[in-house]
Chains A and B, each alone.
Chain A
Amino acid sequence: MASEVKEGLLHGLPIGLGYLSVSFGFGIQAVRCGISAVDASLISLTNITSAGQAAGIEIIARQGTLAEMALVQLLINLRYALMGLSLSQNLDPSFGFIHRMLASFGITDEIFAVCSCRKKPVTPKFMYCVILVAAVGWVSGTFLGAVLGEILPPSVTAALGLMLYGMFIAIIIPPAKKHRSVLAVVIIAAVLSVLCKHFLPMITSGFAIIICAVAASVIGAFLYPIDEKQEAEK
């Protein structure tokens, strides 16, 4: 079981480092919206999501209504419901009701990716460790960003911005190399996303991701309908 902890912490590390740099930017932005460093950190601790938080502080800044806040969060974060559903299919039997309730708090794009692309079923220990490292990076980055502002040279923060994407690439390439179906889905999703960005720029990024991912996955499921063996050896 110790290896579950170690593996979780190791998998959480690139996420935590990536989050640190991304949330640094969020911290800077929050202060610009008139939010204190402590409140900004509290938002990061209770939400752990980039797009939703960015939209949230904008609503706070202009004193929008609570209904608007709730609706915006619902729409931007709706993808987590889909991810939770997908992840629920790859859980270890030890993942009981209480563990599910607790661990669901940490379903983010990156944590979901690391957990659901795991070959073994996900244990509570593994997921908690990934969440812990990621959350530490996310919250401390927010606080540092809010307090330090723009002290780090832009060349460093800019390069750190690639960290998360590098990790995404490291997750999708090996299975795409092995399975033509995954490769097809990855390419379809990328092409749709590029088209979406160019021709439908008014769609928010959260929505665009849902649309492109659902479309690519549906096409994949149609093109490669029966492949139980491949799924089993995932």
Chain B
Amino acid sequence: MSIAIYILVMAGVTYLIRMLPFTFFTQKIESKFLRRFLFYVPYAVLSAMTFPAVFHATGNTVSSAVGTAAALILAYLDLPLIAVAAAASASAFVTGLFI
């Protein structure tokens, strides 16, 4: 089968999943419970994606943990996204030089 058809199906399905709820759900949700639920979803998604995966992100638990700690501390100090992300990578890289 041609790869173009595979790509078409892949992209089509993925787009529809994204587009349908986002485009056609326009009213405000009235249910307080549902609103609280949707308010928490992004934080829960990010947390579930980050832990425990972050501890294997560099392929080494020690340098990953150092990078994670750096990110946690700088995020706690309210530094901007790019600074926290860069510091996590940089500290993991430097730690990697010593192990």
Contact = CB atoms under 8 A, between A and B. Distances in A.
Given A104-B23, A231-B35, A209 B49 contact: yes
A125 interface: no
A148 interface: no
Contact of B36 (A155, A173, A231): A231
A70 B13 contact: yes
A97 B28 contact: no
A173 to B, nearest CB: 4
Contact of A162 (B15, B22, B48, B64): B64
Contact of A189 (B19, B29, B47, B86): B47
Given A43-B10, A155-B93, A172-B43, A66 B5 contact: yes
Contacts of A159: 58, 63, 67, 89-90, 92-93, 96
B67 A185 contact: no
Nearest to A71: B13
B98 to A, nearest CB: 11
A28 interface: no
A80 to B, nearest CB: 5
A56 B86 contact: no
Given A104-B18, A158-B96, A18 B10 contact: no
A226 interface: yes
A168 B46 contact: yes
B59 to A, nearest CB: 5
B86 to A, nearest CB: 7
Contacts of A129: none
A86 B47 CA distance: 16
A167 B47 contact: no
Contacts of A166: 67, 70-71, 84-89
Interface of A: 10-11, 13-14, 17-18, 35, 39, 42-43, 46-47, 49, 52-53, 56, 59-60, 63, 66, 69-70, 73-74, 77-89, 97, 100-101, 103-105, 107, 109, 112-114, 116-117, 154-156, 158-177, 181-182, 185-190, 192-194, 197, 205, 208-209, 212-214, 216-218, 220-221, 224-228, 231, 234
26 contacts: A11-B81, A52-B10, A80-B18, A82-B41, A84-B18, A85-B38, A86-B41, A105-B18, A116-B41, A116-B42, A162-B88, A163-B89, A165-B67, A166-B88, A167-B81, A169-B72, A170-B85, A177-B76, A181-B40, A185-B40, A186-B47, A189-B45, A189-B47, A214-B44, A227-B36, A231-B36
